[in-house]
């Protein structure tokens, strides 16, 4: 199942994507609307299955006639993993980590598919980072690695767009990772049953203005999804709807010679095999 959160002329809705550009679903005010993903995910897999049946009885939409929103509007936590591909660690001058390099994002940074990534007034160093997102479906603490993937409801795509000069001003990356409209998330949530376990072995590509900038397999993650779930739950309780943004491969803009940063008018596309393509134009912050 591929769940799509959308807006149609000011009305929120939920739909299923058919893989051919079409959607079938319901608006929030219509009879049978099952609720949004923020509400459905904590109810478990059966609730999602029942919701999908109701959505299939809804109206047909084309993606072009709606505004596609981030799959979840208010994830409890957005947990990001840095330096999770060996070649990316090397290109940035960091040692390959023995333990995940973790930071967090706030939901105020989130935007959806086709929304503009915003280059802020205070910097011209807006960089791309294509990443796989694992979405927690069942929470818990001290989760074993053997059972960890049972706690994931599905997967999506993230552009961890970073303001590099702000990121590098301190040893903590928080500020450079949380500018408004720099966290593109979507275009939909693909349930785990549609993908290999842990979403392993999927090709990830980032293209800027049609040029291939990043390419890797999700099997190259240093800490795979199961490992991340288990390690994170040693420290804190994972909750339904939490996002685990698993890290980016090599090829980021600031590590290139000369550096390549996203410019207003650019188009950034992140494609993950079996999930889809997250597309975002780039714009300057309004004055």
**Tens digit of each residue's pLDDT (9 = 90 or more) over 145-178:** 999 999 999 999 999 999 999 999 999 999 999 9
Instruction: Answer whether residue 6 shows pLDDT above 80.
Output: yes
pLDDT at 266: 98
In this prediction, residues 92-98 reach a mean pLDDT of 86
pLDDT at 287: 83
How far apart, in whole angstroms, are the C-alpha atoms of residue 110 and residue 184?
6
Residue % of the chain over a pLDDT of 70: 100
pLDDT band at residue 18 under the 50/70/90 scheme = confident
Compare 86 and 229 and report the one with higher pLDDT: 229
If you average pLDDT over every residue of the chain, what do you get?
96
Does the pLDDT of residue 207 top 80, yes or no? yes
According to DSSP, residue 32 is labeled T
Q: For position 1, what pLDDT does the model report?
A: 96
Question: Is pTM beyond 0.85 here?
Answer: yes
pLDDT number for residue 96: 87
Q: Where do the DSSP E strands lie in the chain?
A: 2-8, 11-17, 22-27, 59-62, 67-68, 78-82, 101-105, 110-111, 117-119, 126-127, 130-136, 152-160, 162-163, 183-191, 203-208, 211-217, 243-245, 267-272, 276-284
Would you state the pLDDT for residue 23?
97
pLDDT digits (tens, 9 = 90+) for 26-65: 999 999 999 999 999 999 999 999 999 999 999 999 999 9
Query: Is pLDDT at 234 greater than 80 in this prediction?
Result: yes
> Mind listing the pLDDT tens digit for each residue in 242-273?
999 999 999 999 999 999 999 999 999 999 99
Structure confidence at residue 192 (pLDDT) = 97
* 8 Å CB contact between 154 and 137: yes
Q: Summarize the confidence of residues 201-211 as an average pLDDT.
A: 98
- Judged against a pLDDT cut of 90, whether residue 200 lies above it is answered with yes
Task: Tell whether the model's pLDDT for residue 19 goes beyond 80.
Answer: no
Give the residue among 128, 129, 97, 17 at the shortest CA–CA distance from 62: 17
Q: Where are the alpha helices (DSSP H) in 3-85?
A: 37-40, 45-56
Instruction: Over range 179-204, report the average pLDDT.
Output: 98
């Amino acid at each position: 199942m591929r769940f799509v959160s959308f807006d149609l002329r000011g009305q929120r809705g939920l739909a299923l994507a058919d893989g051919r550009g079409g959607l079938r679903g319901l608006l929030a005010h219509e009879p049978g609307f099952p609720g949004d993903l923020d509400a459905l995910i904590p109810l478990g897999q059966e609730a999602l299955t029942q919701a999908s049946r109701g959505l299939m009885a809804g109206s047909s939409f084309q993606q072009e006639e709606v505004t596609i929103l981030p799959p979840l509007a208010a994830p409890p936590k957005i947990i990001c993993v840095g330096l999770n591909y060996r070649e990316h660690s090397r290109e940035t001058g960091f040692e390959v980590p023995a333990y995940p390099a973790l930071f967090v994002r706030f939901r105020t940074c989130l935007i959806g598919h086709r929304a503009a990534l915003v280059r802020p007034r205070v910097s011209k160093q807006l960089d791309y980072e294509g990443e796989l997102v694992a979405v927690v479906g069942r929470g818990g603490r001290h989760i074993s690695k053997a059972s960890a993937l049972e706690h994931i409801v599905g997967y999506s795509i993230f552009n961890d767009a970073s303001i590099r000069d702000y990121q590098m001003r301190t040893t903590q990356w928080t500020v450079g990772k949380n500018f408004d409209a720099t966290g593109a998330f979507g275009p939909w949530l693909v349930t785990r049953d549609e993908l290999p376990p842990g979403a392993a072995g999927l090709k990830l590509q980032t293209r800027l203005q049609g040029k291939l900038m990043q390419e890797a397999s999700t099997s190259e993650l240093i800490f795979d999804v199961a490992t991340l779930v288990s390690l994170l739950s040693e420290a804190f309780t994972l909750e339904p709807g939490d996002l685990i943004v698993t890290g980016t491969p090599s090829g980021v803009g600031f590590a290139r010679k000369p550096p390549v940063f996203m410019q207003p008018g650019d188009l950034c596309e992140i494609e993950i095999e079996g999930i889809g393509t997250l597309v975002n134009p780039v714009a300057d912050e309004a004055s």
